[in-house]
């Protein structure tokens, strides 16, 4: 009866700590979610700050570009301003073309031809003079030697006659139809007006209409524009800004790199902190139950009822012994499984693969003693001699098999297949368990890592099993990979060299 009371006490103790583990898990889950949200907010704030900085930098570069462009055009205008004011070009424009224009306007005022014909003759006069005008202009440009090609033309914006309040429009250019007087023909969006000239004068003509001769006057206004086209002006401006652009780009890349590095370090630190916290919580939960049981059992031994009953005394000692073994195994797991591949000392032995896997599967089934467990053994028919550390390698494979049972469905099916490929012994272990999501697969071999979906502590573990397995395989100069899909099972592929 006393032994039954002790067992009931032990069961209640385990249930109590089980409930506390679940409560602690929910607290840790809320804490993790809060920390995760803080990191997300920090990342969003950093990205927004970076975008704001990018916008400011783009605005400043745009202003610098516009300033460089204006300075470049100003330099060009100043360099070629003297050409247009030269004696030869001035005489061709003002004297030769101007005098002929006056003559045609006088004929128009005497009704010798229409306004359209007058405008046409004025343009034809300019076309006749244009070859000489253009040749001289381009020769003067060559003398200046600006270092870049310029195309030039002079367009007439308007030619108006004023007689009192009456305005007579002889020529009027539009944005779609610009009338060229001198220079080269071009009409592009990149052309720039560098000068606007307004010529206002009073002209006299002899009116011979009606058989009488009279001298009349009218006011004349001619507005023209000097237009240039620099083919590669954007490249020239960008070239002058190259230092600014490169320095801005380097600073921008440096800021992005610094931000990325800082956020990455922060996330890694949070991850490491979370992993360590999980490990501490897990090892604490794993140690509490056996320690509590040991405490209850040791106190029970002091009771007279237990001392008087040899059977109860013996059962209590067995409970203490089991819990002591459990504590020892937990400590050994932490100490041994945390070693890296470089720290593990291997004592390799030769063993036939068929014998090795037969013993492995038999021992594993015996340790589990589950009816709903099937292991399919497809070890290659040709016997292969393996040279491995049997203890460590067996522990590594048992970790995989143990996880297959822990995270299984109702009926666990495990398949073990082996074959030889290019002097490598391939071991494929697959199960029909709950599987692992793709985002968690990359961390499965990390120290202390446990898949969050299974962290409710109904599945025990410290997050060291798969890390230890990975290190053992590495110590054997081999490799291990994982393929898994949620609800479709998991497959591990191990490759070790054979000789």
Task: Compute the distance between CA of residue 133 and CA of residue 297 in angstroms, rounded to an integer.
Answer: 117
| Residue 281, pLDDT score | 65
Mean pLDDT (whole number) for 219-238? 85
Does the pLDDT value for residue 457 go beyond 50? no
- The residues, ordered by sequence, that sit 6+ positions from 211 with a Cβ below 8 Å of its Cβ are none
- What integer pLDDT is reported at residue 74 of this predicted model? 83
Under a CB-based contact definition with an 8 Å cutoff, are residues 137 and 83 in contact? yes
> What is the rounded average pLDDT of the residues 325-334?
68
Looking at mean pLDDT, say which of 14-28, 111-125, 455-469 comes out highest.
111-125
What is the pLDDT averaged over residues 34-60?
81
Question: pLDDT tens digit string along 382-402?
Answer: 888 999 988 889 888 988 888
Q: What is the pLDDT of residue 164?
A: 79
Average pLDDT, the chain: 79
Q: 420-436, pLDDT tens digit by residue?
A: 988 899 999 998 888 88
- Phi, psi (degrees; rounded to nearest 5) at 192: -125, 135
Distances (CA, A) of 471 to 295, 397, 403, 405, 465: 36, 12, 17, 22, 10
User: For the residues 8-13, what does the mean pLDDT come to?
Assistant: 50
Q: How far apart are CA 124 and CA 362, in angstroms?
A: 110
pLDDT in tens, 193-208: 888 888 888 877 777 6
Share of the chain above pLDDT 70, in %: 82
Pick the CATH number of 349-497 from 3.30.565.10, 2.30.30.100, 3.40.50.11540, 3.40.50.300: 3.30.565.10
- Report the candidate in 13, 486, 66, 97 with the shortest Cα–Cα distance to residue 289: 13
Confidence check: pLDDT of 466 > 80: yes
Task: At 272, list the tokens.
Answer: 């490491």
| Res 33: pLDDT | 60
**Average pLDDT of span 10-32:** 52
Question: What tens digit of pLDDT does each residue of 237-281 get?
Answer: 888 888 888 888 888 888 888 888 888 888 778 777 776 776 676
| Residues 105, 170: Cα–Cα separation, whole Å | 9
Q: Helices (DSSP H) in 301-389: which residue ranges? A: 304-308, 310-337, 353-368
pLDDT of residue 36: 64
Look up the pTM and report it. Answer: 0.44
pLDDT at residue 494 is higher than 90: yes
Domain boundary assignment for the chain: 85-240, 349-497
Q: Is the pLDDT of residue 454 over 50?
A: no
Whether residue 138 is predicted with pLDDT greater than 80 in this model: the reply is yes
pLDDT tens digits for range 333-370 = 666 655 566 667 788 999 999 899 988 888 888 777 77
Which uninterrupted H or E stretch holds 287? helix 242-300
Distance CA 217, CA 209 (A): 15
The span from the CA of 371 to the CA of 142, in Å, is 100
Sign of CA pseudo-dihedral 111, 113, 118, 121: negative
Question: Which band of pLDDT confidence, cut at 50, 70 and 90, is reported for residue 480?
Answer: very high
pLDDT for position 1: 47
pLDDT for the residue numbered 34: 58
Residue 452 has pLDDT above 80, yes or no: no
pLDDT at 493: 94
């Amino acid at each position: 009866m006393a032994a039954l009371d002790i067992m009931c006490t032990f069961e209640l103790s385990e249930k109590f700590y089980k409930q506390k583990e679940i409560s602690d898990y929910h607290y840790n889950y809320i804490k993790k979610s809060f920390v995760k949200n803080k990191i997300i907010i920090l990342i969003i704030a950093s990205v927004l700050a970076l975008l704001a900085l990018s916008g400011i930098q783009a605005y400043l570069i745009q202003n610098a570009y516009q300033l460089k462009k204006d300075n470049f055009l100003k330099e060009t205008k100043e360099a070629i301003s003297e050409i247009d004011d030269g004696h030869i070009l001035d005489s061709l424009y003002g004297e030769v073309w101007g005098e002929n224009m006056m003559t045609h306007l006088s004929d128009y005022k005497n009704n010798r031809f229409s306004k359209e014909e007058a405008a046409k003759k004025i343009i034809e006069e300019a076309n006749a003079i244009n070859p000489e005008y253009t040749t001289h202009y381009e020769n003067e440009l060559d003398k200046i030697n600006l270092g870049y090609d310029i195309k030039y033309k002079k367009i007439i914006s308007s030619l108006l006659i004023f007689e009192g309040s009456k305005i007579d429009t002889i020529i009027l250019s539009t944005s779609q139809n610009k009338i060229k007087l001198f220079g080269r023909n071009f009409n592009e969006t990149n052309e720039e007006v560098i000068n606007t000239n307004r010529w206002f004068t009073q002209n006299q003509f002899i009116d011979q209409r009606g058989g009488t001769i009279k001298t009349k006057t009218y006011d004349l206004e001619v507005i023209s524009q000097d237009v240039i086209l620099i083919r590669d002006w954007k490249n020239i401006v960008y070239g002058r800004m190259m230092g600014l652009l490169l320095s801005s780009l380097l600073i921008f890349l440096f800021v992005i790199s610094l931000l990325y590095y800082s956020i990455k370090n922060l996330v890694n630190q949070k991850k490491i902190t979370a992993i360590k916290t999980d490990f501490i919580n897990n090892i604490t939960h794993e140690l509490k139950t056996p320690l509590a049981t040991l405490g209850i059992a040791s106190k029970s031994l002091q009771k007279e009822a237990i001392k008087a009953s040899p059977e109860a005394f013996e059962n209590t000692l067995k409970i203490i012994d089991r819990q002591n073994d459990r504590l020892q195994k937990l400590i050994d797991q932490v100490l041994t499984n945390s070693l890296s591949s470089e720290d593990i000392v291997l004592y390799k032995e030769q063993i036939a693969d068929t014998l090795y896997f037969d013993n492995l599967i038999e021992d594993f089934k015996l340790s589990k003693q589950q009816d709903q467990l099937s292991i399919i053994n497809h070890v290659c028919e040709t016997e292969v001699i393996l040279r491995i550390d049997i203890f460590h390698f067996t522990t590594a494979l048992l970790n995989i098999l143990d996880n297959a049972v822990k995270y299984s469905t109702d009926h666990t099916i495990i398949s073990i297949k082996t074959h030889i490929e290019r002097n490598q012994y391939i071991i494929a272990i697959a199960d029909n368990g709950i599987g692992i999501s793709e985002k968690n697969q990359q961390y499965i071999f990390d120290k202390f890592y446990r898949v969050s979906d299974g962290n409710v502590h109904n599945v025990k573990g410290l997050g060291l099993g798969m890390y230890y397995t990975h290190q053992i395989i590495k110590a054997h100069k081999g490799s291990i990979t994982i393929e898994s899909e949620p609800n479709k099972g998991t497959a591990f592929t191990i490759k070790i060299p054979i000789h």
